[in-house]
């Protein structure tokens, strides 16, 4: 979804904005804001710094009472018509800002709509020209989804890979359609395990930055891969990850599935 801001909401890649849906809650009070990761670069999808884009999944499910429940903000946004107005706040967030080093290795781990901040990164790296920034490093994206129809921005990413094969690597993990050699479902950590030693070597470099965005459970699966690899080098992974976080090389934005 692309929103016109008339340039009044400047932001950086990796930040979020708040959306306040119309109407009131069950107590008759205005709805509280919901945060969404920005899916566009600072220049926006039209390159004029006057828009902001979001990646929104409509939340609808049946609860234990058999009642149909709709997420307030996601349905509000998905039901909007072109030209409608929306209340936006922000931007906020500094944890997911991309590194300034144009020669860095940037490993991006996403599930579902957690792809949003990485689309913003990749647009700046590969779809835009900047006088003060030219990406010369390696960007490696792992995207985990349940079905191939959930591979958001797939064509964009494949175009980037085709155009910049030396600077962009792309790996999908489609859990309901793909399996590994053992017949196990292909989750994001399963796909990463295929490159485990290579990823560990990259993580030992001081210009490698890891970004993780998506459902909360994904971090544990990735920890499980790294524990044994680090141990083989006599390194305690949990302590090493703590140091990576301290040096801003390990950046995580994960969430539970709230009714939003």
Q: So which residues are the catalytic ones?
A: 36-37, 213, 253, 255
176 belongs to an annotated ligand binding site: yes
175 belongs to an annotated ligand binding site: yes
Q: How many CB atoms lie within 10 A of CB 168?
A: 22
256 belongs to an annotated ligand binding site: no
Q: Which two tokens stand for residue 217?
A: 């459970």
185 belongs to an annotated ligand binding site: yes
> Which has the closest alpha carbon to 36: 53, 22, 12?
53
37 belongs to an annotated ligand binding site: yes
> Three-class SS of residue 85?
coil
CA dist., res. 50 & res. 84, Å (int): 16
The widest CA-to-CA distance across the chain, in whole angstroms, is 58
26 belongs to an annotated ligand binding site: no
30 belongs to an annotated ligand binding site: no
Q: Which two tokens stand for residue 257?
A: 């599935």
- H or E element in which residue 227 lies: helix 218-232
CA dist., res. 186 & res. 192, Å (int): 10
Q: Which two tokens stand for residue 251?
A: 């950046």
Annotated binding site: 37, 57, 113, 145-146, 175-176, 185, 214-215, 253
Annotated binding site for NADP(+): 37, 57, 113, 145-146, 175-176, 185, 214-215, 253
């Amino acid at each position: 979804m692309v929103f016109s801001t008339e340039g009044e909401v400047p932001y950086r890649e990796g930040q979020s904005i708040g959306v306040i849906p119309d109407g009131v809650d069950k107590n008759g009070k205005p709805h509280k804001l919901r945060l969404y990761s920005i899916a566009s670069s600072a220049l926006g999808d039209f390159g004029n710094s006057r828009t902001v884009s979001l990646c929104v999944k409509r939340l609808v499910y049946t609860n234990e009472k058999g009642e149909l429940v709709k997420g307030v903000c996601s349905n509000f946004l998905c039901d909007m018509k072109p030209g409608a107005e929306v209340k936006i706040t922000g931007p906020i967030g500094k944890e997911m800002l991309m590194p300034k080093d144009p020669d860095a290795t940037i490993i991006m781990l996403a599930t579902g709509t957690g792809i949003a901040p990485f689309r913003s990164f990749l647009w700046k790296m590969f779809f835009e020209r900047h006088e003060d920034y030219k990406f010369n490093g390696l960007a490696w994206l792992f995207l985990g989804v349940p079905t191939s129809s959930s591979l958001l921005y797939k064509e964009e990413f494949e175009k980037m890979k085709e155009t910049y094969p030396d600077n962009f690597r792309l790996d999908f993990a489609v859990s309901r359609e793909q399996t590994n050699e053992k017949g196990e479902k292909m989750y994001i950590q399963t796909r990463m395990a295929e490159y485990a030693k290579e990823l560990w070597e990259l993580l030992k470099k001081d210009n490698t930055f890891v970004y993780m965005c998506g459902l909360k459970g994904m971090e544990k699966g990735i920890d499980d891969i790294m524990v044994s690899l680090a141990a083989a080098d006599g390194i305690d992974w949990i302590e090493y990850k703590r140091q990576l976080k301290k040096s801003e090389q390990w950046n995580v934005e994960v969430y539970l599935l709230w009714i939003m």
